[in-house]
Amino acid sequence: MRIGVVTFPGSNCDYDCYKAVQTAMQAEAVFLWHKEHDLQGVDAVFLPGGFSYGDYLRAGAIAAHSPILREVKAFAAEGGVVAGICNGFQILCESGLLPGALVRNRGLRFLSRPVRLRVERSVPPFTSAYAEGELLRVPIAHGEGCYAADDATLDALEREGRVLFRYVDERGEPTPAANPNGSARNVAGIVNAAGNVLGMMPHPERAVDALLGSADGRGLFRSLAEHLSAAVAR
Amino acid sequence: MNTPTAATDRVQPRAGDPPISPALVAEHGLSADEYRLILEILGREPTFTELGVFSAMWSEHCGYKNSRPLLKTLPTQAPWVLQGPGENAGVIDVGDGWAVAFKIESHNHPSAVEPYQGAATGVGGILRDVFTMGARPIAVLDSLRFGELDGPGAERVRYLFAGVVKGIGDYGNCVGIPTVGGEVYFDAAYEGNPLVNAMAIGLLRQDELIKGVAEGVGNPIMAVGSKTGRDGIHGATFASAELSEESEAKRPQVQVGDPFTEKLLLEASLELIRSGHIVGIQDMGAAGLVSSSTEMAARGGTGVDLEITRMPLRERGMTPYEILLSETQERMLVVAKRGREDEVRRILGRWDLDAEVIGQVTDTGRYVVREHGQVVVDIPGEPLVGACPSYTRAGREAPELAELRAFDPLSLAPLPEEADPAWTLERLLDAPSIASKRWVYEQYDSTVRTNTVVGPGSDAAVLRLRGTGRAIAATVDCNGRYVYLNPRRGGALAVAEAARNLACSGALPRAVTDNLNFGNPLKPEAYHQLAEAVAGIAAACRALETPVTGGNVSLYNENPRGAIYPTPTIGMVGVVEDLAHVTTAGFKAEGDAIVLLGRNTAELGGSEYLKVIHGRVAGDAPALDLAAERALQRCLLAAIRAGLVRSAHDCAEGGLAVALAESAFAGGERPFGMEVELRDELPLNALLFGEAASRVVVSCAPESVDALLALAAEHGVPAAQVGVVGVPGGTFRVAAAGAVLAAPVAQLAAVYERAIPRRMERGVEAVFAELHSEVSLP
């Protein structure tokens, strides 16, 4: 199993993703350079967090037009598994692979803190290792993580079961107080219609070792590993 | 390129440069004596460009002319010190072939006039100091001082505070280096002259250490990174004068940061260092090209010959003077191996950065700069760096201080409200210097790079060293009020507290980087503070075996209303031998025993209690016995290593009551209740809120109490069980001196958490809106 982690200029969670793939998936990790067109035969692609191209225009806007993204789009169109975390989520929205947009946090400040997430659905390839309704503790670290979309899009996401993670309180309720950034309907992570492209603002790759406060992110990597090894076996 | 020459007579003033006059010399911050020395060194009148070069190199910021004799008294050596003062950063051995590079630097004056960019570029500069040693930055800590958040000047203070925090956050977050700790104090003494000290820590293999040295005659000197503009010209000289009403006009001397380019430069520099194509690398920081090129040549014992027109520029018509002194950010000076220029360009090009050959290393020992081949600067290199005059001045204590110290705080009549000690505690928990700094550190990414075992909000930050089973701990500390009241003792107390914080986290304190923030050294009172504080630091560093590996001196921290508190910020790094030893401040379980290590005293001098409750800064700083301090720390470490300790928290501002409260609050999502009884026969307020040094609040399993007390006795450390951890959400209760302090812990925690947000909410969105409009594309 070979997992690609894209490095854009300004990516800064690429190394964390790379290590999480190694330790939590027990898989081979390779860096994919933004200027290239070669996905090196990987089985899945991570778009990591950071400030791609400085995010000077709009978070993720320039990365969405980078050479490697052309290949990532083609890969996703053929059913390839793609996960965008934080800036990666922003890039996926900017490139049209996911609906909606990430705008400045309500409160206008960058926020770095652990949050509680509820797993909304237990489905491959991203969340099958979790139980539905399971509560996770995962860090966020972003200034533009407020998920915004029109009501029709949000209704469709809910109806089609495409909201995978929601910000909740300690009782598992999606309250306004538990919503760190003002995201519509407390949405923290969504998938595309086909279910093979995930975007999420929280950082599961920073929650794979209890020493650092939480290992709750491992389930995402385990889910992926199960899905991909089953696919390889077929 | 022309062949190097030492022909002094070929130097000619450039057309259009102003003639040298006494007024121009004075404007450059040089005294008449210093100018005479320049005439002697050159044997002729300097050109305007040369005057600029001397001005920058002999500024306090680069030349340390008022502090050098004092700095020489600091201990700098230990078997684990791989690189002491004099390089871009200090380096210590942390085992298994790994080393840690670290350094602290101030950006006080830029932040006073332009908080966002001033603070951001402070972070950028200190990161470059660390990665030019070949170290990958793994953490940043910040030590900040502002005026009061309440009262008449508060609006501007809030603007400075919000801007500095956002500047630090935006820069560090974008580069992707976690900001893992720090300290923030608020006091009217810092109004108008905030302190912004940033410390960076980097990790490297010992065999990958590289230095800022220009070696190998004929080797090309290359400028790398951002193109040079007119920003920040004479920033180093600006930083070496007092702030005044005109300082606002010097906003153009504040540099503009671009963290995205910094990230590219970081990756490219580390790749470059590992490639073996270069012999030396240095940040073009304060005094830009001048200081980086002269310092590299001085370390190599060589000369340099630069063709200034080859410098990549982003503005037209820049003069050699401007190019040499520009402080454009995100630039590096690299000495490559001859013939490897293209490899260097290829590595930089991969990161879309420029690399241009601008000169070469020579054997003349001279600092030569040309413009289209015409020599505009030709200065003997050794005296330019080495002959910077240094001054040992006569210090004199301000007369009112002896009187202040003699004040007996116990003579104060308590306020009527103090009849309920819970009222007093709430007032202290609401004081911004004591209150939770969550509002600050939540704006910093503290978890990126996935090494942060203990982040902001505990005594020290702890970062794992991947693959070793070990960790490093780091902290920044100083109580400027203590240093003001008693400079020597205050300097020692800052070192002691930093080391104590590391010990509380399970680390053996190893080495120091210090940031000496003081007033105008030409004033005997300020010089006295500096000299005395350095003496205190030196004594404590010797006693605690934490040599100073480098640092920064920031003098002239004054504004029209007077000097700041003398603030020698101590950045300290320690090593946690085993990840199992990592310890935090928060209580862990109901029923655990609470043990106090150290001795309570009747001291209240210089305390937050006196300031907050009685509005006084008086009395003497807490007494410090360095031998007792050392014994306490060694005892605590032994107890932690023996597995006897569940939590440990230093007793500092606000005294024992605040320390207990903080341990209760940090215990988890629901703060713990607590039942404590203090039996010392001491005045109530001193017992609860006095700031006696060398004390630590520890919690342990009930069955460990005897072993812990026995261990303390072995180390000669006073120790006693003082109470028990209660239920989460319960009552916080301390009985002492015939009185009882009791309050719901949730209520106290709410005061502690709300103190800063409630002061910042009003109008803060407007502050951010303004900041946001200032941050445009670089």
B17-54: pLDDT as tens digits: 899 999 999 999 899 999 999 999 999 999 999 999 99
- Name every chain A residue with its beta carbon within 8 A of the beta carbon of B259: 51, 54
Instruction: Quote the minimal CA–CA distance from B611 to chain A in Å.
Output: 32
Partner residue facing B450 (CB), from A19, A108, A170:
A19
Q: What is the mean pLDDT of chain A?
A: 96
**Helical (H) or strand (E) element with B282:** strand B278-283
Tokens found for residue B473: 């701990």
Per-residue pLDDT at B769: 54
Give the three-class secondary structure for B569.
strand
Instruction: List, as own/partner pairs, every contact residues B461-464 make where C-beta atoms lie below 8 angstroms and the sequence separation is at least 24, other chains included.
Output: B461/B139, B461/B141, B461/B180, B461/B181, B462/B505, B462/B506, B462/B507, B462/B576, B462/B582, B463/B138, B463/B139, B463/B180, B463/B201, B464/A211, B464/A212, B464/B579
- Choose among B777, B352, B771: nearest CA to A57: B777
Q: Provide CB contacts within 8 A for B374, sequence distance 6+.
A: B10, B12
**Cα B142 from Cα A100, distance rounded (Å):** 37
- Name every chain A residue with its beta carbon within 8 A of the beta carbon of B349: none
Per-residue pLDDT at B432: 98
Tokens found for residue B689: 């809120």
- b/e burial code for range A20-41 (CB count within 10 A of at least 16 → b): bbebbbebebeebebeeeebee
A140, A203 in Cβ contact below 8 A? yes
* pLDDT > 90? residue B300: no
- Name every chain A residue with its beta carbon within 8 A of the beta carbon of B446: 112, 141
Q: Under an 8 A CB cutoff, do A141 and B352 touch? A: no
Q: Per the residue annotation, which of A13, A17, A205, A227 is the catalytic one?
A: A205
- Name every chain B residue with its beta carbon within 8 A of the beta carbon of A13: 176, 448
Phi and psi dihedrals of A190, rounded to 5? -135, 165
Per-residue pLDDT at B215: 86
* A86 counts as catalytic: yes
Partner residue facing B453 (CB), from A56, A139, A211:
A211
**Cα A74 from Cα A58, distance rounded (Å):** 23
Mutate to test the interface with B, among A12, A17, A105, A218 (most CBs of B within 10 A): A12
- For chain B positions 637-676, those within 8 Å of chain A (CB to CB) are 669
- Choose among B327, B325, B332, B432: nearest CA to B110: B327
* A17 counts as catalytic: no
Q: Per-residue pLDDT averaged across B87-108, rounded?
A: 95
* pLDDT > 90? residue A233: no
Confidence of residue B778 (pLDDT cuts 50, 70, 90): very low
Instruction: Quote the minimal CA–CA distance from A158 to chain B in Å.
Output: 31
**Helical (H) or strand (E) element with B518:** none
- Name every chain A residue with its beta carbon within 8 A of the beta carbon of B174: 10, 12, 51, 54-55
Instruction: Quote the minimal CA–CA distance from B453 to chain A in Å.
Output: 5
Per-residue pLDDT at A107: 87
* pLDDT > 80? residue B604: yes
Q: Under an 8 A CB cutoff, do B768 and A111 touch? A: no
Look at strands A146-148 and A101-103 and give their pairing.
antiparallel
Half-sphere exposure of B224 (CA within 13 A, CB side): 36
pTM of the complete model: 0.94
Instruction: Quote the minimal CA–CA distance from A51 to chain B in Å.
Output: 6
Q: Per-residue pLDDT averaged across A189-199, rounded?
A: 98
Instruction: Quote the minimal CA–CA distance from B264 to chain A in Å.
Output: 7
* pLDDT > 50? residue B523: yes
* pLDDT > 60? residue B767: no
Q: Per-residue pLDDT averaged across B380-400, rounded?
A: 90
* A203 counts as catalytic: yes
* pLDDT > 50? residue B416: yes
- b/e burial code for range B607-630 (CB count within 10 A of at least 16 → b): bbbbbbbbebbbbbbbebebebbb
- Choose among B172, B96, B59, B693: nearest CA to B447: B172
Per-residue pLDDT at A234: 61
Residue with tokens 């702890």: B462
Q: What is the mean pLDDT of chain B?
A: 92
Please give the ipTM for the structure prediction. Answer: 0.96
Q: Per-residue pLDDT averaged across B252-259, rounded?
A: 77
- Name every chain B residue with its beta carbon within 8 A of the beta carbon of A51: 173-174, 176, 259-260, 263
Q: Under an 8 A CB cutoff, do A50 and B176 touch? A: yes
pLDDT digits (tens, 9 = 90+) for A133-160: 999 999 999 999 999 999 999 999 999 9
A181, A102 in Cβ contact below 8 A? no
Residue with tokens 């304060």: B286
Q: Under an 8 A CB cutoff, do B259 and A54 touch? A: yes
What amino acid is encoded at B635 in this protein? C
- Choose among B112, B183, B187: nearest CA to B151: B187
**Cα B111 from Cα B76, distance rounded (Å):** 30
Q: Under an 8 A CB cutoff, do A13 and B448 touch? A: yes
**Which DSSP state fits B763?**
T
DSSP string, B358-415: EEEEESS-EEEEEETTEEEEEEEHHHHHH------PPP---THHHHHHH--GGGSPPP
Per-residue pLDDT at A222: 97
**Which DSSP state fits B489?**
H
Tokens found for residue B18: 């102003």
Partner residue facing A113 (CB), from B442, B464, B772:
B442
- Name every chain B residue with its beta carbon within 8 A of the beta carbon of A208: 450
Confidence of residue B184 (pLDDT cuts 50, 70, 90): very high
Instruction: Quote the minimal CA–CA distance from A154 to chain B in Å.
Output: 29
**Cα B744 from Cα B750, distance rounded (Å):** 10
- What's the 3-state SS for B523-568? CHHHHHHHHHHHHHHHHHHHHCCCCEEEEEEECCCEECCEECCCEE
Put simply, whether B351 touches A (Cβ < 8 Å) is: yes
- Name every chain B residue with its beta carbon within 8 A of the beta carbon of A29: none
Of B248 and B775, more confident: B248
Partner residue facing A211 (CB), from B351, B579, B765:
B579
Residue with tokens 């501007």: B156
Q: Under an 8 A CB cutoff, do B264 and A108 touch? A: no
**Cα B239 from Cα B555, distance rounded (Å):** 8
